[in-house]
Every structure is written in C-alpha cells, then in structure tokens.
C-alpha cells in the first residue's frame, strides 16, 4: 500500500524514483501533502520551463486514503518489450495495472510532447497505472529515461493485408487492438486515452457511479448525443466479458479496417462486390475510387460499428471505403442500415 523506491523494471536496478511512503494516518487527516518532495535528477537536463515537480507531483495522501484507484507512488516504472511477443502483454499488464484497472495510450516520436503532457496530467490526479504503447523500442527507451520515467512498451503489430504500409493506420488502430486483447486475455478494466488529452480530475468516480456504472463499453461523444457519433479519444471498458459484445465491437472495427485497407478494385471499384447490391438497387452509382485514408478514419468507422450495435443490424454511414454518388437518398439509407433514430 505504500510507495515504492528503488529499481526500474526492465531497465536494471537502481535509478531515480521520487516517492517514499505516505506518513501515518494522523498526518493524513490534516490534509497536508506529507510525502517527501520529488528529487531533481542531477545528471539529466529537463526541458525548459518543466520542473521535475511537474513530472512527479507530491503524493496526496488524503486522496490516496479515499480512492481505491489512487496509484501514484505505488507502481514501479516499467519498460516492456514488443507486446506481440508471447507473454509480453501479460507481463506489461501485471506490472502496470492497479486494483483491476489500467489506462493505455499510444504515440510515435512526433507525439512525444503530447504523451508526456498526458502522463504528467494523469500523475497530477493520482493515476500512475498507465502504459504508453509506442511504435519502436528506441522510442520506449527514450521515454523511460530519468527523470521522466514514462512507463511504456512497444509494438510490431500491424494489419496483415493492407495495400500499403502506413504508420498512422498502425498507430491509430493499435489502441483498439490492445483494448480488445486486454479484455480478452487479461480481464482487467481498461481505459484508452488519446495522447493529446490532458486529465484535470480523477475520472473513476464518474465511471463507477450511476448511470455509467451499469454500462460496460463507454465512449465520449463527438457532436450529437447518439451512439453513431463517437469521439474515440476516450474509451473505457469495465467488467467486459471476454468474447462478449464489447470485445465484438472492437474486433469488428479492426475487421472492417483490415478489409477496407486492402484496396482491391474487385471489391471497392466500379462493378466491385462492395457496391454491387447498392448500385443495383438504384441507391448509388460510381465512380467508385478506393480511399486509402480519411480524416478521423477510425472514429468514423467505430461510430458506424457502435451505431449498428445500437440498431441491432449492420450500419454504414460515416466510413465508406471508396467514393460514390447517392442516386436515391431513401433507398441509400435503407440499403446501408441507416434507420431513422435507431442510434439515438
């Protein structure tokens, strides 16, 4: 229950770690921050205007005594290997989960400042049970340098049949891939948070109280209050059953993208199988030109998946794999499962 001092898992023994235990309960009741102040690392240069105390805020022992999810100072920093290697995801979740919860985020080298900002904001509200998933071992090694000690692992995962390799696709969809794997293999509650977010308060009291407590898969919304308009910047799965409906939604999104990214003309071009029924019904016409990428692509795709789950039938509305013209709006909506208000 107390703080941890000493070595860094995956990085050798010894090294920088700023926390000692919270003081006795009599001191906690005063509401004071009673832990030792974070140490400055004498041999490392921190970025301008960013002090070590911003990376490692003081322990809030009163909050730690109230919240079962206050993990700051209670987990060792961790540098993992390739999460696709046998046993590596299990090792990472075991090292970085706390009281049945883990927060994952993701990024590449270009997003390093965003990742750091998110991590420091999580620490500021007492959440240390995070894991940053990056695209290379070198990036993870850099994040784990003192005094940042941003716990991470890297991944070689990618779609297997896309027409072209694309790091942005691999990066964005890795969060859905590992959310699904954690649900299916590790059976802990998992939150996925975009690296460009900043956390200003502990979100667990909201997730664990009515009305959200009764739900399993929770997403933030984008523009309208219906399940066909997701913002996937924050997602949370609590008490999600392996191979259950929540995991199905995650896997269906991965399946669709794996299909769409193939780019075969015989599937998505003029006369292709994807459009045959719609074109024959008079709903659409060509030209059908494959679209390799789109803005907010995974967000649109998962909005379609989840809206279909709410409507009880497959739905495609925001993310089509190639271009089209609508010839009859009513027939088009019927052909692609867009029943009025079923996703509200």
CA distance 180 to 246: 8
CA 162, 167, 170 angle in degrees (round to 5)? 65
Its pTM stands at: 0.87
Q: Which residues contact residue 257 at a Cβ distance below 8 angstroms, ignoring those fewer than 6 apart?
A: 159, 169, 173, 297, 298, 301
Where exactly are the structural domains of the chain?
Answer: 79-250, 256-336
**How far is residue 1 from each of residues 4, 22, 172, 209, 245, measured CA to CA in Å?**
9, 9, 35, 24, 35
Residue 147 in contact with residue 41, Cβ under 8 Å?
Answer: yes
Q: What is the predicted pLDDT for the residue at 21?
A: 67
Q: What is the predicted pLDDT for the residue at 182?
A: 98
CA distance 30 to 308: 52
CA distance 343 to 326: 22
Q: How do residues 285-343 score in pLDDT, each as one tens digit?
A: 999 999 999 999 999 999 999 999 999 999 999 999 999 999 999 999 999 999 877 77
- The two tokens of residue 76 are 């060792």
Q: What is the predicted pLDDT for the residue at 340?
A: 72
Which burial class, exposed, middle or buried, applies to 209 when counting CB atoms under 10 A from its CB (0-12, 13-18, 19+)? exposed
Q: What is the predicted pLDDT for the residue at 20?
A: 65
- The two tokens of residue 199 are 């956390």
- The two tokens of residue 226 are 């219906």
Comparing C-alpha atoms, which of 149, 150, 169 is closest to residue 161?
169
DSSP string, 205-216: HHHTSTTGGG-S
Q: How do residues 21-78 score in pLDDT, each as one tens digit?
A: 664 332 222 222 323 333 444 343 444 455 677 788 888 888 888 899 999 999 999 9
Give me the architecture of the 79-250 domain, per CATH: Alpha-Beta Complex (3.90)
- The two tokens of residue 279 are 């074109």
CA distance 268 to 37: 59
Peptide bond into 251 cis (omega under 30): no
CA distance 259 to 252: 10
Beta-strand pair 189-193/230-237: antiparallel
Q: Which residues contact residue 244 at a Cβ distance below 8 angstroms, ignoring those fewer than 6 apart?
A: 183, 216
Q: What is the largest CA-CA distance in the chain?
A: 76
Q: How do residues 174-204 score in pLDDT, each as one tens digit?
A: 999 999 999 999 999 999 999 999 999 999 9
The mean of the pLDDT values for the chain is 87
Which burial class, exposed, middle or buried, applies to 296 when counting CB atoms under 10 A from its CB (0-12, 13-18, 19+)? middle
- DSSP secondary structure letter of residue 241: P
């Amino acid at each position: 229950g107390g703080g941890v001092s000493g070595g860094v898992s995956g990085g050798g023994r010894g090294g920088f770690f700023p926390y000692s235990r919270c003081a006795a309960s009599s001191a906690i009741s005063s509401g004071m921050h009673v832990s030792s102040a974070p140490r400055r690392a004498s041999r490392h240069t921190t970025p301008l205007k960013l002090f070590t105390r911003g990376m490692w805020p003081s322990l809030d022992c009163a909050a730690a005594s109230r919240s079962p999810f206050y993990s700051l100072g209670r987990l060792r920093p961790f540098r993992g290997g390739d999460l696709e290697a046998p046993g590596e995801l299990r090792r990472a979740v075991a090292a970085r989960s706390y009281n049945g919860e883990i927060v994952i985020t993701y990024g590449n080298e270009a997003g390093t400042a965003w990742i750091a900002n998110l991590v420091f904001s999580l620490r500021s509200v007492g959440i240390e049970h995070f894991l940053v998933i990056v695209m290379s071992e070198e990036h993870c090694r850099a994040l784990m340098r003192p005094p940042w000690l941003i716990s991470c692992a890297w991944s070689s995962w990618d779609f297997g049949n896309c027409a072209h390799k694309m790091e942005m696709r691999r990066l964005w969809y890795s969060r859905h891939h590992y959310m699904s794997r954690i649900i299916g293999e590790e059976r802990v509650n998992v939150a996925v948070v975009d690296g460009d977010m900043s956390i200003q308060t502990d979100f667990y009291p909201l997730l664990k109280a009515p009305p959200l407590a009764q739900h399993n898969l929770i997403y933030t919304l984008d523009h309208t209050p219906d399940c066909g308009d997701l913002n996937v910047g924050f997602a949370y799965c609590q008490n999600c059953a392996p191979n259950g409906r929540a995991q199905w939604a995650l896997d269906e999104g991965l399946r669709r993208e794996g299909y769409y990214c193939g780019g075969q003309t015989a599937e998505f071009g003029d006369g292709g199988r994807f459009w045959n029924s719609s074109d024959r019904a008079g709903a659409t016409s060509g030209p059908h030109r494959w679209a390799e990428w789109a803005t907010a692509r995974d967000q649109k795709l998962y909005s379609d998946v989840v809206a279909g789950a709410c409507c009880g039938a497959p739905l495609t509305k925001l993310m089509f794999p190639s271009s089209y013209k609508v010839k009859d709006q009513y027939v088009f909506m019927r052909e692609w499962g867009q029943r009025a208000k079923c996703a509200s």
